[in-house]
Amino acid sequence: MEEPMNSAAGVLDDGDSHDSPGDPSDMRDTASFDLPRLLRLSNMMQSLLNEANTVDLGDDAPARRHLAIVQQRALDAIATAVPPDLAQELAQLTERGAPDPSGGELRVTQSQVVGWLAGLFHAFQVVALEQQLRAAPPRPAIVSGPEVATPGQYL
């Protein structure tokens, strides 16, 4: 079994406070993310969306039911791989209206999940970049002044 990582970049909170909700840097404050599992689920959801777009779900009730079951299992798995606040956000985005969704509704839900996961991974990248920049030593300031020509050996 794979160990979940603490935060997007594997680093705990550095003590800075972040007041705005939805700030990508807030992700370092969360309990845990199971990144390998999220990557696998994300790839599976993208493949499932591609497949759903090629299949005619209009007259195929068994295929729609099966797709709805697979989607729900994937959503449940994603919810266990992210902190509770993100799991709740995903649940709100993917609430189903009808007990027997149409092919179009299934595709829209699938697209929402794929987009949500893509946004999550972009936030991971932002947090990792921010942490790298904070950890990097400051660069010396470049002072520009009059250029002084120094004679070289070929002049």
User: What's residue 90's pLDDT?
Assistant: 92
Amino acid at position 102, single letter:
S
Asked if 70 and 110 count as a contact pair (C-beta separation under 8 A), the reply is no
Quick count: other Cβ atoms within 10 Å of Cβ 86? 18
Which stretches in the chain have pLDDT values below 70?
Answer: 1-31, 143, 145-152, 154-155
pTM of the model: 0.66
Q: Which helix (H) or strand (E) holds 30?
A: none
User: What's residue 23's pLDDT?
Assistant: 47
Please report which residue ranges of 55-102 form alpha helices under DSSP H. 61-81, 84-93
Amino acid at position 129, single letter:
L
Q: Which helix (H) or strand (E) holds 52?
A: helix 35-54
